[in-house]
Amino acid sequence: MSIVTIFLIGVAACVIFDLWQILFAKITGIPPSNWAITGRWCIGALTKGRFYAPNIEQIAPRPRELAVGWLLHYAVAISYAFIFWGLMSVSWLKARFFDGFLFGVITVLVPWLFFLPCMGKEVMGSHTPNPLLISALSLMMHSLFGVSIGLGFLWSSI
C-alpha cells in the first residue's frame, strides 16, 4: 500500500469526522470542536513547553491558532491512519468495519487521558459542566473516525 493512499485515508476519515460534527451540530445544537483552542494549546506547548494549560480559554488568542488547530487535527488523523496500517501489517487489525470501530474506541483514550487533562478539563472531561456528554461525544466521534479508517483501507484494497 502506498504512503499516498494511507495519507488520503487519514484525510478522508478526518473529513468524515468534520462533516459529521457539522451535521450533528445542526441537529442537536451542540457546537463542533473548537480547533482554535486546540491550536492555542499547541502553540503554547511548542513555544513555551507548557503541555498543561488549565485555563486555556482565558489565555489570549494567538496568531494563526485556528490554522494550527486544524493542522494538528489533520496531522493526528493521518498519524492514526499510519498506525492502523502498521497494526494491519503485523496482523493485529484487518481492513474492516469492526476493526476500525475497535481502533476508534481505543483512540478515544487520547482525548480522554491526554488532551482534556492538558487543557484543564481533567480525565474524561471530569472538570466540565457535563463530563458524561463530553466523554460520549468523544467516543462517538472516535468510533466514527475509526470505522472510516477501517472502511477506507477495505475499499482501497478492492
- pLDDT attached to residue 157: 86
Residues 100-108 have a mean pLDDT of 98
71, exposed or middle or buried, with CB in 10 Å at 0-12, 13-18, 19+? middle
- pLDDT attached to residue 1: 86
- pLDDT attached to residue 82: 98
Q: Which long-range contacts (CB under 8 A, 24 or more apart) does 52-60 make?
A: 52/117, 52/118, 52/120, 53/118, 53/119, 53/120, 54/119, 54/120, 55/120, 56/119, 56/120
pLDDT digits (tens, 9 = 90+) for 18-66: 999 999 999 999 999 999 999 999 999 999 988 999 989 999 999 999 9
Contact yes or no for 123/112 (Cβ under 8 A): yes
Residues 127-143 have a mean pLDDT of 96
User: How confident is residue 89, by pLDDT bands cut at 50, 70 and 90?
Assistant: very high
- Spell out the domain ranges in the chain: 3-33+74-156
